[in-house]
Amino acid sequence: MTGRRGPVMSPGMARLLVIAGLLAVWEIGARLYADPLFLCPPSQALVALQDIFADPKIVRAIEITIYEVVVAFVVSVSVGMAIGLVVGLQGFTKRAILPVILLLYAIPQATILPLFILSFGIGPAAKIAFGVSHGIFPVIVTTVAGVQNLRPTLLTAARSMGANRWQVFTSIIFPHMIPSFFTGMRLGMTLVLLGVLLAELYVSTAGIGFYTRLFAESFAPPDLFALISVLAAIAVTLNELCRTAERHFSRWHAN
Amino acid sequence: MKKSSRLPQHLVQLGILLAVLLAWYWATLPGGINHLLLPPPIPVFEGFWVLFTTDSIWPDLLVTVREWVSAVVIASVSGCVLGYIISRSNYAVRVFDPLLAGLYSIPAILLFPLYLLFFGLGPGSKIAIGTTIAFFPIVLNTIAGLAYVDKAYVTAARSMGASDLQLFWSVMLPAAFPVVLTGLRIGCIVAFLSILGGETISSLAGLGHRIVSLAENMESSRMFSNILFAVLMAIVINGIVSFAEARGRRGMQ
Protein backbone atom coordinates (compact mmCIF):
# COMPACT_ATOMS: atom_id res chain seq x y z
CA MET A 1 0.00 0.00 0.00
CA THR A 2 2.84 2.34 -0.72
CA GLY A 3 2.82 5.12 -3.28
CA ARG A 4 -0.87 5.90 -3.55
CA ARG A 5 0.09 8.61 -6.02
CA GLY A 6 1.51 5.95 -8.26
CA PRO A 7 4.69 6.06 -10.34
CA VAL A 8 5.37 9.11 -12.47
CA MET A 9 5.45 7.26 -15.76
CA SER A 10 2.25 6.28 -17.47
CA PRO A 11 1.84 2.53 -18.07
CA GLY A 12 1.94 3.11 -21.81
CA MET A 13 5.32 4.80 -21.56
CA ALA A 14 6.66 2.03 -19.38
CA ARG A 15 5.40 -0.53 -21.88
CA LEU A 16 7.26 1.20 -24.70
CA LEU A 17 10.38 1.23 -22.55
CA VAL A 18 10.03 -2.50 -21.87
CA ILE A 19 9.70 -3.18 -25.60
CA ALA A 20 12.68 -0.95 -26.37
CA GLY A 21 14.69 -2.71 -23.67
CA LEU A 22 13.89 -6.15 -25.07
CA LEU A 23 14.83 -5.01 -28.57
CA ALA A 24 18.10 -3.59 -27.24
CA VAL A 25 18.93 -6.87 -25.49
CA TRP A 26 18.15 -8.74 -28.69
CA GLU A 27 20.24 -6.34 -30.78
CA ILE A 28 23.27 -6.57 -28.52
CA GLY A 29 22.91 -10.30 -27.93
CA ALA A 30 22.53 -11.05 -31.63
CA ARG A 31 25.49 -8.89 -32.59
CA LEU A 32 27.76 -10.45 -30.02
CA TYR A 33 26.79 -14.10 -29.87
CA ALA A 34 24.43 -15.17 -32.62
CA ASP A 35 25.27 -17.13 -35.74
CA PRO A 36 24.13 -14.86 -38.61
CA LEU A 37 22.67 -17.89 -40.38
CA PHE A 38 20.13 -18.36 -37.62
CA LEU A 39 19.49 -15.08 -35.88
CA CYS A 40 19.92 -11.48 -36.87
CA PRO A 41 19.73 -8.26 -34.85
CA PRO A 42 16.45 -6.34 -35.23
CA SER A 43 18.20 -3.48 -37.04
CA GLN A 44 19.02 -5.81 -39.94
CA ALA A 45 15.43 -7.02 -40.04
CA LEU A 46 14.38 -3.38 -40.29
CA VAL A 47 16.65 -2.92 -43.30
CA ALA A 48 15.31 -6.11 -44.85
CA LEU A 49 11.81 -4.70 -44.49
CA GLN A 50 12.57 -2.32 -47.35
CA ASP A 51 13.70 -5.17 -49.61
CA ILE A 52 10.55 -7.04 -48.81
CA PHE A 53 8.26 -4.19 -49.77
CA ALA A 54 10.33 -3.60 -52.88
CA ASP A 55 9.71 -7.15 -54.08
CA PRO A 56 6.33 -7.31 -55.85
CA LYS A 57 6.12 -11.06 -55.35
CA ILE A 58 6.27 -10.72 -51.60
CA VAL A 59 3.80 -7.84 -51.57
CA ARG A 60 1.50 -10.07 -53.59
CA ALA A 61 2.02 -12.84 -51.03
CA ILE A 62 1.01 -10.53 -48.20
CA GLU A 63 -2.09 -9.53 -50.15
CA ILE A 64 -2.99 -13.16 -50.73
CA THR A 65 -2.68 -13.99 -47.07
CA ILE A 66 -4.76 -10.97 -46.05
CA TYR A 67 -7.39 -11.94 -48.60
CA GLU A 68 -7.55 -15.50 -47.29
CA VAL A 69 -7.76 -14.32 -43.69
CA VAL A 70 -10.48 -11.78 -44.39
CA VAL A 71 -12.67 -14.21 -46.33
CA ALA A 72 -12.20 -16.94 -43.72
CA PHE A 73 -12.94 -14.50 -40.92
CA VAL A 74 -16.12 -13.15 -42.47
CA VAL A 75 -17.40 -16.65 -43.15
CA SER A 76 -16.49 -17.82 -39.63
CA VAL A 77 -18.19 -14.91 -37.90
CA SER A 78 -21.38 -14.84 -39.95
CA VAL A 79 -21.96 -18.59 -40.11
CA GLY A 80 -20.68 -19.14 -36.58
CA MET A 81 -22.94 -16.51 -35.11
CA ALA A 82 -25.98 -17.82 -36.95
CA ILE A 83 -25.29 -21.35 -35.71
CA GLY A 84 -24.59 -20.05 -32.21
CA LEU A 85 -27.89 -18.19 -32.06
CA VAL A 86 -29.90 -21.11 -33.41
CA VAL A 87 -28.26 -23.51 -30.98
CA GLY A 88 -28.06 -21.22 -27.97
CA LEU A 89 -31.48 -19.61 -27.88
CA GLN A 90 -33.29 -22.83 -27.07
CA GLY A 91 -32.50 -24.92 -24.04
CA PHE A 92 -33.08 -28.20 -25.79
CA THR A 93 -30.94 -27.60 -28.86
CA LYS A 94 -28.24 -26.19 -26.63
CA ARG A 95 -28.09 -29.31 -24.50
CA ALA A 96 -28.37 -31.64 -27.48
CA ILE A 97 -26.21 -29.96 -30.11
CA LEU A 98 -23.64 -27.99 -28.12
CA PRO A 99 -21.80 -31.13 -26.93
CA VAL A 100 -21.52 -32.23 -30.56
CA ILE A 101 -20.07 -28.84 -31.50
CA LEU A 102 -17.64 -28.95 -28.58
CA LEU A 103 -16.62 -32.40 -29.72
CA LEU A 104 -15.87 -31.07 -33.19
CA TYR A 105 -14.05 -28.12 -31.63
CA ALA A 106 -11.82 -30.61 -29.83
CA ILE A 107 -10.70 -32.23 -33.06
CA PRO A 108 -7.10 -31.28 -33.76
CA GLN A 109 -7.57 -29.66 -37.17
CA ALA A 110 -3.90 -30.04 -37.98
CA THR A 111 -4.43 -33.76 -38.42
CA ILE A 112 -7.06 -33.23 -41.08
CA LEU A 113 -4.99 -30.62 -42.91
CA PRO A 114 -3.89 -33.18 -45.54
CA LEU A 115 -7.58 -33.80 -46.24
CA PHE A 116 -8.21 -30.11 -46.87
CA ILE A 117 -5.33 -30.06 -49.31
CA LEU A 118 -6.61 -33.20 -51.04
CA SER A 119 -10.10 -31.75 -51.35
CA PHE A 120 -9.40 -28.09 -52.07
CA GLY A 121 -6.00 -28.17 -53.77
CA ILE A 122 -2.95 -26.17 -52.85
CA GLY A 123 -4.44 -22.76 -53.71
CA PRO A 124 -6.19 -20.21 -51.50
CA ALA A 125 -9.40 -22.27 -51.23
CA ALA A 126 -7.80 -24.83 -48.95
CA LYS A 127 -6.36 -22.09 -46.72
CA ILE A 128 -9.72 -20.34 -46.46
CA ALA A 129 -11.50 -23.58 -45.65
CA PHE A 130 -8.89 -24.49 -43.09
CA GLY A 131 -9.07 -21.01 -41.56
CA VAL A 132 -12.85 -21.32 -41.26
CA SER A 133 -12.49 -24.72 -39.63
CA HIS A 134 -10.40 -22.99 -36.97
CA GLY A 135 -12.30 -19.76 -36.57
CA ILE A 136 -15.90 -20.86 -36.58
CA PHE A 137 -15.91 -22.80 -33.32
CA PRO A 138 -14.93 -20.07 -30.88
CA VAL A 139 -17.54 -17.82 -32.49
CA ILE A 140 -20.24 -20.46 -32.02
CA VAL A 141 -19.23 -21.25 -28.46
CA THR A 142 -18.98 -17.64 -27.32
CA THR A 143 -22.26 -16.75 -29.01
CA VAL A 144 -23.93 -19.58 -27.13
CA ALA A 145 -22.26 -18.44 -23.91
CA GLY A 146 -23.38 -14.87 -24.55
CA VAL A 147 -26.97 -15.90 -25.01
CA GLN A 148 -26.68 -17.95 -21.87
CA ASN A 149 -25.66 -14.93 -19.78
CA LEU A 150 -29.04 -13.42 -20.44
CA ARG A 151 -30.98 -12.83 -17.26
CA PRO A 152 -34.42 -14.42 -17.65
CA THR A 153 -36.01 -11.56 -15.70
CA LEU A 154 -35.06 -9.17 -18.47
CA LEU A 155 -36.68 -11.37 -21.09
CA THR A 156 -39.81 -11.78 -19.02
CA ALA A 157 -39.94 -8.06 -18.33
CA ALA A 158 -39.56 -7.21 -22.01
CA ARG A 159 -42.20 -9.73 -23.04
CA SER A 160 -44.62 -8.54 -20.37
CA MET A 161 -44.18 -5.02 -21.69
CA GLY A 162 -45.18 -6.29 -25.09
CA ALA A 163 -41.88 -6.50 -26.98
CA ASN A 164 -41.96 -8.66 -30.08
CA ARG A 165 -39.22 -11.14 -31.01
CA TRP A 166 -37.23 -8.67 -33.07
CA GLN A 167 -37.36 -6.02 -30.33
CA VAL A 168 -36.28 -8.57 -27.77
CA PHE A 169 -33.36 -9.48 -29.99
CA THR A 170 -32.19 -5.94 -30.75
CA SER A 171 -32.65 -4.42 -27.31
CA ILE A 172 -31.92 -7.31 -24.97
CA ILE A 173 -30.26 -10.32 -26.54
CA PHE A 174 -27.88 -8.44 -28.79
CA PRO A 175 -26.58 -5.90 -26.23
CA HIS A 176 -26.03 -8.75 -23.79
CA MET A 177 -24.15 -10.78 -26.33
CA ILE A 178 -21.79 -7.98 -27.25
CA PRO A 179 -18.99 -8.63 -24.78
CA SER A 180 -18.82 -12.35 -25.51
CA PHE A 181 -19.48 -11.75 -29.19
CA PHE A 182 -16.38 -9.62 -29.49
CA THR A 183 -14.40 -12.03 -27.39
CA GLY A 184 -15.46 -14.67 -29.87
CA MET A 185 -14.51 -12.46 -32.78
CA ARG A 186 -11.08 -11.87 -31.29
CA LEU A 187 -10.52 -15.55 -30.63
CA GLY A 188 -11.89 -16.35 -34.07
CA MET A 189 -9.53 -13.88 -35.70
CA THR A 190 -6.53 -15.34 -33.90
CA LEU A 191 -7.51 -18.85 -34.89
CA VAL A 192 -8.31 -17.94 -38.48
CA LEU A 193 -4.83 -16.47 -38.79
CA LEU A 194 -3.41 -19.60 -37.23
CA GLY A 195 -5.34 -21.87 -39.58
CA VAL A 196 -4.46 -19.94 -42.70
CA LEU A 197 -0.78 -19.75 -41.79
CA LEU A 198 -0.63 -23.39 -40.77
CA ALA A 199 -2.05 -24.39 -44.12
CA GLU A 200 0.36 -22.07 -45.93
CA LEU A 201 3.31 -23.44 -44.02
CA TYR A 202 2.24 -26.98 -44.77
CA VAL A 203 1.98 -26.63 -48.51
CA SER A 204 1.56 -23.60 -50.70
CA THR A 205 2.98 -21.73 -53.61
CA ALA A 206 2.23 -18.22 -52.36
CA GLY A 207 1.33 -16.32 -49.23
CA ILE A 208 3.27 -15.30 -46.16
CA GLY A 209 3.57 -18.84 -44.87
CA PHE A 210 5.28 -19.92 -48.07
CA TYR A 211 7.85 -17.13 -47.89
CA THR A 212 8.42 -17.61 -44.16
CA ARG A 213 9.34 -21.17 -44.87
CA LEU A 214 11.43 -20.25 -47.86
CA PHE A 215 13.44 -17.67 -45.89
CA ALA A 216 13.96 -20.07 -43.01
CA GLU A 217 15.10 -22.84 -45.29
CA SER A 218 17.46 -20.56 -47.19
CA PHE A 219 18.96 -19.25 -43.92
CA ALA A 220 17.95 -15.64 -44.45
CA PRO A 221 16.94 -14.51 -40.94
CA PRO A 222 16.72 -10.76 -41.74
CA ASP A 223 14.05 -11.41 -44.38
CA LEU A 224 12.37 -13.93 -42.11
CA PHE A 225 12.15 -11.54 -39.17
CA ALA A 226 11.03 -8.70 -41.42
CA LEU A 227 8.19 -10.84 -42.77
CA ILE A 228 7.22 -12.05 -39.31
CA SER A 229 7.11 -8.47 -38.08
CA VAL A 230 4.87 -7.45 -41.00
CA LEU A 231 2.49 -10.22 -40.08
CA ALA A 232 2.72 -9.41 -36.39
CA ALA A 233 1.77 -5.83 -37.22
CA ILE A 234 -1.23 -7.06 -39.22
CA ALA A 235 -2.29 -9.36 -36.39
CA VAL A 236 -1.94 -6.68 -33.71
CA THR A 237 -3.87 -4.18 -35.84
CA LEU A 238 -6.74 -6.61 -36.40
CA ASN A 239 -6.78 -7.43 -32.72
CA GLU A 240 -6.82 -3.78 -31.70
CA LEU A 241 -9.69 -3.13 -34.12
CA CYS A 242 -11.69 -5.88 -32.43
CA ARG A 243 -10.84 -4.52 -28.98
CA THR A 244 -11.82 -0.98 -29.88
CA ALA A 245 -15.10 -2.17 -31.31
CA GLU A 246 -15.64 -4.26 -28.20
CA ARG A 247 -15.05 -1.29 -25.89
CA HIS A 248 -17.26 0.92 -28.02
CA PHE A 249 -20.21 -1.45 -28.05
CA SER A 250 -20.01 -2.57 -24.43
CA ARG A 251 -19.88 0.91 -22.90
CA TRP A 252 -23.35 0.42 -21.49
CA HIS A 253 -22.11 -2.64 -19.66
CA ALA A 254 -19.39 -0.83 -17.72
CA ASN A 255 -21.62 0.49 -14.94
CA MET B 1 -37.18 -35.78 -13.54
CA LYS B 2 -33.64 -34.97 -14.44
CA LYS B 3 -32.99 -38.35 -16.00
CA SER B 4 -36.07 -38.46 -18.17
CA SER B 5 -35.46 -34.93 -19.50
CA ARG B 6 -31.95 -35.91 -20.58
CA LEU B 7 -32.98 -38.84 -22.72
CA PRO B 8 -34.18 -36.90 -25.80
CA GLN B 9 -31.00 -34.85 -26.09
CA HIS B 10 -28.86 -37.96 -25.97
CA LEU B 11 -31.10 -39.44 -28.67
CA VAL B 12 -30.49 -36.38 -30.83
CA GLN B 13 -26.73 -36.72 -30.31
CA LEU B 14 -26.84 -40.41 -31.14
CA GLY B 15 -28.95 -39.60 -34.19
CA ILE B 16 -26.40 -37.08 -35.44
CA LEU B 17 -23.61 -39.61 -35.01
CA LEU B 18 -25.53 -42.31 -36.86
CA ALA B 19 -26.49 -39.90 -39.62
CA VAL B 20 -22.84 -38.95 -40.11
CA LEU B 21 -21.76 -42.58 -40.24
CA LEU B 22 -24.54 -43.48 -42.67
CA ALA B 23 -23.76 -40.49 -44.88
CA TRP B 24 -20.12 -41.52 -44.86
CA TYR B 25 -20.99 -45.09 -45.83
CA TRP B 26 -23.43 -43.98 -48.48
CA ALA B 27 -21.02 -41.45 -50.00
CA THR B 28 -18.33 -44.08 -50.46
CA LEU B 29 -20.52 -46.64 -52.22
CA PRO B 30 -19.44 -47.38 -55.79
CA GLY B 31 -19.95 -44.27 -57.91
CA GLY B 32 -19.61 -41.98 -54.90
CA ILE B 33 -16.66 -39.93 -53.69
CA ASN B 34 -13.20 -40.94 -54.79
CA HIS B 35 -11.76 -43.30 -52.18
CA LEU B 36 -8.55 -41.31 -52.09
CA LEU B 37 -10.49 -38.38 -50.67
CA LEU B 38 -12.82 -40.34 -48.45
CA PRO B 39 -12.21 -44.04 -47.87
CA PRO B 40 -15.16 -46.22 -46.85
CA PRO B 41 -15.72 -46.45 -43.10
CA ILE B 42 -15.26 -50.18 -42.61
CA PRO B 43 -11.58 -50.44 -43.64
CA VAL B 44 -10.91 -47.31 -41.61
CA PHE B 45 -12.28 -48.90 -38.46
CA GLU B 46 -10.46 -52.14 -39.20
CA GLY B 47 -7.26 -50.16 -39.66
CA PHE B 48 -7.92 -48.49 -36.34
CA TRP B 49 -7.59 -51.74 -34.41
CA VAL B 50 -4.48 -52.69 -36.32
CA LEU B 51 -2.84 -49.53 -34.95
CA PHE B 52 -2.45 -51.30 -31.63
CA THR B 53 -1.06 -54.54 -33.03
CA THR B 54 0.85 -54.89 -36.29
CA ASP B 55 0.76 -51.27 -37.51
CA SER B 56 2.02 -50.05 -34.18
CA ILE B 57 1.32 -46.44 -33.31
CA TRP B 58 3.07 -46.55 -29.93
CA PRO B 59 6.51 -45.15 -30.91
CA ASP B 60 4.95 -42.12 -32.62
CA LEU B 61 2.44 -41.69 -29.84
CA LEU B 62 5.23 -41.69 -27.28
CA VAL B 63 7.10 -38.97 -29.17
CA THR B 64 4.02 -36.74 -29.32
CA VAL B 65 3.09 -37.29 -25.69
CA ARG B 66 6.63 -36.51 -24.53
CA GLU B 67 6.67 -33.30 -26.52
CA TRP B 68 3.26 -32.36 -25.16
CA VAL B 69 4.12 -33.02 -21.54
CA SER B 70 7.38 -31.07 -21.79
CA ALA B 71 5.68 -28.11 -23.43
CA VAL B 72 2.84 -28.06 -20.91
CA VAL B 73 5.17 -28.26 -17.92
CA ILE B 74 7.46 -25.48 -19.16
CA ALA B 75 4.57 -23.23 -20.15
CA SER B 76 2.60 -23.77 -16.92
CA VAL B 77 5.51 -23.14 -14.60
CA SER B 78 6.79 -20.09 -16.43
CA GLY B 79 3.30 -18.72 -17.10
CA CYS B 80 2.06 -19.06 -13.53
CA VAL B 81 5.24 -17.66 -12.01
CA LEU B 82 5.41 -14.70 -14.36
CA GLY B 83 1.68 -14.08 -14.01
CA TYR B 84 1.96 -14.11 -10.23
CA ILE B 85 4.89 -11.67 -10.25
CA ILE B 86 3.09 -9.28 -12.60
CA SER B 87 -0.18 -9.45 -10.70
CA ARG B 88 1.56 -8.31 -7.49
CA SER B 89 1.41 -4.72 -8.62
CA ASN B 90 -1.42 -2.89 -10.31
CA TYR B 91 1.07 -0.84 -12.22
CA ALA B 92 2.84 -3.89 -13.59
CA VAL B 93 -0.50 -5.31 -14.67
CA ARG B 94 -1.24 -2.13 -16.59
CA VAL B 95 2.18 -2.25 -18.21
CA PHE B 96 2.43 -5.94 -19.07
CA ASP B 97 -1.13 -7.15 -19.53
CA PRO B 98 -1.75 -5.26 -22.82
CA LEU B 99 1.77 -6.17 -23.97
CA LEU B 100 1.22 -9.88 -23.40
CA ALA B 101 -2.28 -9.71 -24.87
CA GLY B 102 -0.83 -8.02 -27.94
CA LEU B 103 1.84 -10.67 -28.30
CA TYR B 104 -0.83 -13.35 -27.84
CA SER B 105 -2.64 -12.03 -30.89
CA ILE B 106 0.41 -12.68 -33.06
CA PRO B 107 0.14 -16.13 -34.60
CA ALA B 108 3.10 -17.86 -33.01
CA ILE B 109 3.00 -20.63 -35.59
CA LEU B 110 4.94 -18.25 -37.85
CA LEU B 111 7.89 -18.76 -35.54
CA PHE B 112 7.86 -22.44 -36.33
CA PRO B 113 10.23 -22.23 -39.33
CA LEU B 114 12.57 -20.29 -37.07
CA TYR B 115 12.30 -22.90 -34.34
CA LEU B 116 13.11 -25.53 -36.93
CA LEU B 117 16.35 -23.68 -37.52
CA PHE B 118 17.09 -23.29 -33.83
CA PHE B 119 16.01 -26.65 -32.47
CA GLY B 120 16.09 -28.95 -35.46
CA LEU B 121 13.52 -31.25 -36.98
CA GLY B 122 13.25 -33.40 -33.86
CA PRO B 123 11.12 -32.93 -30.73
CA GLY B 124 12.89 -29.68 -29.73
CA SER B 125 11.12 -27.48 -32.24
CA LYS B 126 7.73 -28.95 -31.34
CA ILE B 127 8.30 -28.44 -27.63
CA ALA B 128 9.31 -24.86 -28.38
CA ILE B 129 6.22 -24.10 -30.47
CA GLY B 130 3.92 -25.86 -27.98
CA THR B 131 5.45 -23.90 -25.10
CA THR B 132 5.20 -20.58 -26.92
CA ILE B 133 1.57 -21.10 -27.77
CA ALA B 134 0.53 -22.49 -24.38
CA PHE B 135 2.39 -19.83 -22.40
CA PHE B 136 0.16 -16.88 -23.28
CA PRO B 137 -3.26 -18.16 -22.19
CA ILE B 138 -1.70 -19.40 -18.97
CA VAL B 139 0.07 -16.17 -18.07
CA LEU B 140 -2.87 -13.98 -19.13
CA ASN B 141 -5.36 -16.01 -17.14
CA THR B 142 -3.09 -16.04 -14.11
CA ILE B 143 -2.93 -12.25 -14.27
CA ALA B 144 -6.65 -11.95 -14.93
CA GLY B 145 -7.42 -14.25 -12.01
CA LEU B 146 -5.11 -12.70 -9.46
CA ALA B 147 -5.27 -9.05 -10.42
CA TYR B 148 -9.01 -8.69 -10.84
CA VAL B 149 -10.17 -10.27 -7.61
CA ASP B 150 -13.19 -8.31 -6.41
CA LYS B 151 -11.82 -5.39 -4.39
CA ALA B 152 -14.60 -5.79 -1.81
CA TYR B 153 -13.21 -9.18 -0.73
CA VAL B 154 -9.70 -7.79 -0.40
CA THR B 155 -10.89 -4.78 1.60
CA ALA B 156 -13.03 -6.97 3.82
CA ALA B 157 -10.16 -9.35 4.51
CA ARG B 158 -7.79 -6.46 5.17
CA SER B 159 -10.19 -4.74 7.52
CA MET B 160 -10.48 -7.98 9.45
CA GLY B 161 -6.73 -7.92 9.81
CA ALA B 162 -5.56 -10.53 7.27
CA SER B 163 -1.82 -10.67 6.63
CA ASP B 164 -0.38 -10.78 3.12
CA LEU B 165 -0.06 -14.54 3.26
CA GLN B 166 -3.53 -15.04 4.67
CA LEU B 167 -4.93 -12.72 2.06
CA PHE B 168 -3.26 -14.77 -0.65
CA TRP B 169 -4.26 -18.20 0.63
CA SER B 170 -7.79 -17.46 1.81
CA VAL B 171 -8.97 -14.75 -0.57
CA MET B 172 -6.86 -14.30 -3.68
CA LEU B 173 -6.14 -17.93 -4.48
CA PRO B 174 -9.69 -19.28 -4.11
CA ALA B 175 -11.05 -16.32 -6.07
CA ALA B 176 -8.43 -16.59 -8.80
CA PHE B 177 -8.18 -20.35 -9.00
CA PRO B 178 -11.01 -21.01 -11.49
CA VAL B 179 -9.62 -18.44 -13.89
CA VAL B 180 -6.08 -19.78 -13.58
CA LEU B 181 -7.37 -23.31 -14.12
CA THR B 182 -9.16 -22.21 -17.27
CA GLY B 183 -5.85 -20.83 -18.52
CA LEU B 184 -4.11 -24.10 -17.77
CA ARG B 185 -6.82 -26.07 -19.52
CA ILE B 186 -6.58 -23.89 -22.63
CA GLY B 187 -2.79 -24.12 -22.45
CA CYS B 188 -2.85 -27.93 -22.35
CA ILE B 189 -5.14 -28.11 -25.34
CA VAL B 190 -3.47 -25.52 -27.56
CA ALA B 191 -0.09 -27.07 -26.79
CA PHE B 192 -1.34 -30.41 -28.08
CA LEU B 193 -2.89 -28.84 -31.17
CA SER B 194 0.18 -26.81 -32.02
CA ILE B 195 2.49 -29.77 -31.51
CA LEU B 196 0.38 -31.75 -33.95
CA GLY B 197 0.51 -28.76 -36.28
CA GLY B 198 4.27 -28.59 -36.01
CA GLU B 199 4.57 -32.29 -36.67
CA THR B 200 2.38 -31.87 -39.71
CA ILE B 201 4.59 -29.16 -41.15
CA SER B 202 8.00 -30.75 -40.57
CA SER B 203 9.07 -33.57 -38.32
CA LEU B 204 10.81 -36.88 -38.03
CA ALA B 205 8.30 -38.72 -35.87
CA GLY B 206 5.03 -38.30 -34.02
CA LEU B 207 1.32 -38.57 -34.78
CA GLY B 208 1.27 -35.59 -37.14
CA HIS B 209 4.25 -36.96 -39.03
CA ARG B 210 2.53 -40.32 -39.40
CA ILE B 211 -0.62 -38.78 -40.83
CA VAL B 212 1.26 -36.59 -43.27
CA SER B 213 3.45 -39.37 -44.58
CA LEU B 214 0.38 -41.55 -45.11
CA ALA B 215 -1.33 -38.68 -46.90
CA GLU B 216 1.68 -38.21 -49.13
CA ASN B 217 1.67 -41.91 -49.96
CA MET B 218 -2.04 -41.68 -50.80
CA GLU B 219 -2.86 -44.34 -48.22
CA SER B 220 -6.13 -42.67 -47.36
CA SER B 221 -7.63 -45.53 -45.44
CA ARG B 222 -4.71 -45.84 -43.04
CA MET B 223 -4.50 -42.07 -42.82
CA PHE B 224 -8.12 -41.92 -41.70
CA SER B 225 -7.48 -44.57 -39.06
CA ASN B 226 -4.66 -42.43 -37.71
CA ILE B 227 -6.74 -39.27 -37.85
CA LEU B 228 -9.44 -41.12 -35.95
CA PHE B 229 -6.87 -42.00 -33.32
CA ALA B 230 -5.60 -38.42 -33.04
CA VAL B 231 -9.16 -37.11 -32.78
CA LEU B 232 -10.02 -39.60 -30.05
CA MET B 233 -6.83 -38.71 -28.26
CA ALA B 234 -7.66 -35.00 -28.41
CA ILE B 235 -11.12 -35.72 -27.06
CA VAL B 236 -9.67 -37.81 -24.25
CA ILE B 237 -7.15 -35.09 -23.38
CA ASN B 238 -9.92 -32.52 -23.48
CA GLY B 239 -12.08 -34.65 -21.23
CA ILE B 240 -9.30 -35.30 -18.73
CA VAL B 241 -8.31 -31.65 -18.56
CA SER B 242 -11.89 -30.41 -18.23
CA PHE B 243 -12.52 -33.03 -15.55
CA ALA B 244 -9.41 -31.91 -13.68
CA GLU B 245 -10.55 -28.31 -13.99
CA ALA B 246 -13.99 -29.11 -12.59
CA ARG B 247 -12.49 -31.16 -9.76
CA GLY B 248 -10.00 -28.43 -8.94
CA ARG B 249 -12.77 -25.88 -8.86
CA ARG B 250 -14.89 -27.94 -6.52
CA GLY B 251 -11.87 -28.70 -4.37
CA MET B 252 -11.31 -25.02 -3.76
CA GLN B 253 -14.83 -24.29 -2.59
Contact B114 A228 (CB under 8 A): yes
Indicate whether B132 and B76 sit together in one domain.
yes
The parent domain of residue B14 ranges over 2-33
A5 touches chain B (CB under 8 A): no
Give a yes or no: residue B94 inside a domain: yes
Give a yes or no: residue B39 inside a domain: no
Instruction: Return mean pLDDT, chain A.
Output: 83
**One pLDDT digit (tens) per residue for chain B, 253 residues:** 444 567 777 888 888 888 888 988 888 888 777 777 788 888 888 888 888 887 788 889 999 999 999 999 999 999 999 998 998 888 888 889 888 888 887 888 888 888 888 888 889 999 999 999 999 999 999 998 888 777 788 888 888 888 878 887 888 878 888 888 888 988 998 899 889 989 988 888 888 889 888 888 888 888 889 888 888 888 888 888 888 888 877 766 5
Residues of B in contact with A117 (CB under 8 A): 215
Give a yes or no: residue B54 inside a domain: yes
Indicate whether B184 and B84 sit together in one domain.
yes
Give a yes or no: residue A143 inside a domain: yes
Indicate the residue of B95, B112, B211 with minimum beta-carbon distance to A111.
Answer: B211
- Mutant choice from B91, B105, B111, B117 vs A, greatest count of A C-beta within 10 A: B105
The parent domain of residue A65 ranges over 43-253
Indicate whether B6 and B73 sit together in one domain.
no
ipTM, 2 dp: 0.75
Summarised one tens digit per residue, pLDDT across range A111-131 is 888 888 888 888 889 999 999
Band of pLDDT at residue A1, cut at 50, 70 and 90: very low
Indicate the residue of B36, B105, B230 with minimum beta-carbon distance to A111.
Answer: B230
Size of interface A-B (CB pairs under 8 A): 143
Run of H or E residues at A220: none
Summarised one tens digit per residue, pLDDT across range A131-174 is 999 899 989 988 888 887 777 788 788 888 888 888 887 888 77
User: Residue A255 above 60 pLDDT?
Assistant: no
* CATH code, B134: 1.10.3720.10
A24 touches chain B (CB under 8 A): no
Rounded to a whole number of angstroms, the distance from the CA of A177 to the nearest CA of chain B is 21
Instruction: Indicate the SS3 state at residue A208.
Output: helix
User: Residue A67 above 60 pLDDT?
Assistant: yes
Indicate whether B9 and B101 sit together in one domain.
no
Indicate whether B13 and B72 sit together in one domain.
no
* CATH code, A151: 1.10.3720.10
Q: What does the alpha-carbon distance between residue A82 and residue B253 come to, in Å, rounded to a whole number?
A: 37
Give a yes or no: residue A102 inside a domain: yes
Give a yes or no: residue A158 inside a domain: yes
Give a yes or no: residue B45 inside a domain: no
Summarised one tens digit per residue, pLDDT across range A8-59 is 678 888 888 988 999 889 888 888 887 777 788 888 888 888 888 888 888 8
Give a yes or no: residue A3 inside a domain: no
Give a yes or no: residue B44 inside a domain: no
Indicate whether B161 and B72 sit together in one domain.
yes
**Structure confidence at residue B53 (pLDDT):** 81
Residues of A in contact with B132 (CB under 8 A): none
A6 touches chain B (CB under 8 A): yes
Indicate whether B115 and B211 sit together in one domain.
yes
Give a yes or no: residue B19 inside a domain: yes
Residues of A in contact with B37 (CB under 8 A): 115, 118-119
Indicate whether B29 and B54 sit together in one domain.
no
Domain count, chain A: 1
pTM: 0.81
Selected residues 137-166 of chain A with any CB under 8 Å from a CB in chain B: none
Contact A14 B95 (CB under 8 A): yes
